[in-house]
Structure 1
Amino acid sequence: MTIPPGPIGRPLLEICVDDADGVAAAVAGGADRIELCGALALGGLTPSAALVAGAVASGVPVHAMVRPRDGDFRYDRAERTLATEEIGHMIRLGVAGVVVGAMADDDSLDLDALARWRDAARDVAIVLHRAIDLVADPVAAVEQAVRLGYDHILTSGGAATADAGADVIAAMVAAADGRIAIIAGSGVSADNVRPLIARTGVDAIHASASVREDWGDPRITAMGFASGPRRRTQLERVAALRQTIERR
């Protein structure tokens, strides 16, 4: 169920958000799709049902993260089962897709878990997230994702940022050969998005379009309720990405 690139052949713009204000900013700024998470500061966890329902009501297609906890992507049986159940909940809430990833103890993809989640996703799109950036050969892993029936791969090319991993992303696009959509993410902004698209030929761009903000009350971090500053999606950054991608 691969969703094609955006209008007139340009890459689709996906904005990842973790709260209602982020959803509103993504919609107003012109995002083609929302990746909805909880706790982006932890790399993104499964969002709440109410947040998913609100995002779906925006009318912009929503891909919901299904990640049962922070930390690594090696899940035990209970965690894999929980993720499977969460996929069902997300489908009932009306998402266009779900975003998952799992690794085996040998640092390869956990193909059994990924296959189970593909089956659970049924007719909605399914995305293999940046767990693929931790395997030894992300390019070879593209074929595994294709064989599992996945629709999208979100990747930084095995590097800390998509810009640094652009050559690997380009190789992943070539390996995909139109059979699965490659989404470039991590460190993408209006300043680097056009060169990144030109170097990689990706189907979609993934960005947070966010700014760092302090929590305000120092007790929040001092008492362990949060760690470090949060990031807030900024409408102006979403719009700048949208305009830059569309500029000819």
Structure 2
Amino acid sequence: MQLLGNVLNKLKFPIRVMVRHRDTDFYCPADEYFQLKKDIAYIKTTKAEGIVVGILTPNHQIDLLRMQELITLAYPLAVTFHRTFDLIEDKVTVIQQLAQLGVSTILTQGGITPIMENLVTLQNLRNYGVQIQGGSGINLTNYQEVSHYCDAIHLGSAVHYDGTWNTELDVTKLQQLK
């Protein structure tokens, strides 16, 4: 975590830090939840603009109580709800709940199908007072089209050398963005 703090404190542009301890699902057992809270407390001591977080109950509903605790703990940092949102069936109810909790942005591909199949959904989600950031499946070929349906986009692995998170950012790919 200290390395993260050192990096964040040197950057001059806004960064939101992903706070997540597993890549298998979005349920958060008590020990991981405790660690999330510790991580958020530390991130608040850095120059991070915000956090990216999201937790579900075992039956794929938003864990509203624990999300509220995390958002309160993170204040005044901005909070982005991550792609957990894609697993939720009733997106309108959930986006309204997230707005009430104080979430500023939702990172989503609009559902469980590829982002290019969810453009209308992304457009409709923009009507509920939360910034919609398209993510997953966005690449240098489709990012301009996707950007018409979202408030922001997340390119992620598309701007890495081999198109995965396993390599560094590719400056040439970044320079192709307009």
Deviations 1:26-70 (A, max 9, x none): xxxxxxxxxxxxxxxxxxxxxx33134214412111101111233
Match of 2:15 in 1: 62
Match of 2:133 in 1: 183
1:134 and 1:231 map into 2 onto residues whose CA distance is 28
Contact 1:139 1:171 in 2 (8 A): no
1:68 and 1:193 map into 2 onto residues whose CA distance is 28
Calculate the TM-score normalised by the size of structure 2. 0.90
1:229 and 1:108 map into 2 onto residues whose CA distance is 28
**In percent, how many aligned pairs have the same letter?**
24
> What is the 5 A alignment of 1:1-248?
48-174=1-127, 176=128, 179-198=129-148, 200=149, 202-208=150-156, 209-212=159-162, 230-241=166-177, 243=178
Q: 1:77 to 1:49 in 2, by over 3 A?
A: same
For structure 1, the 5+ residue unaligned runs are 1-47, 214-227, 244-248
For structure 2, the 5+ residue unaligned runs are none
2:74 and 2:140 map into 1 onto residues whose CA distance is 33
2:116 and 2:100 map into 1 onto residues whose CA distance is 27
| Structure (1 or 2) with the greater strand fraction | 1
SS of equivalent residue, structure 1 residue 233: coil
Match of 1:44 in 2: none
Tell me the amino acid that sits aligned with residue 138 of structure 2.
V
SS of equivalent residue, structure 1 residue 172: helix
Q: 1:52 to 1:161 in 2, by over 3 A?
A: farther
Q: 1:125 to 1:136 in 2, by over 3 A?
A: same
Contact 2:51 2:77 in 1 (8 A): yes
Tell me the amino acid that sits aligned with residue 191 of structure 1.
T
Count matched residues: 176
Q: 1:65 to 1:141 in 2, by over 3 A?
A: same
Calculate the TM-score normalised by the size of structure 1. 0.66
Tell me the amino acid that sits aligned with residue 107 of structure 2.
L
Structure of greater relative contact order (alpha carbons < 8 Å, 6+ residues apart): 1
Q: 1:145 to 1:94 in 2, by over 3 A?
A: same
Aligned residues: CA RMSD: 1.9
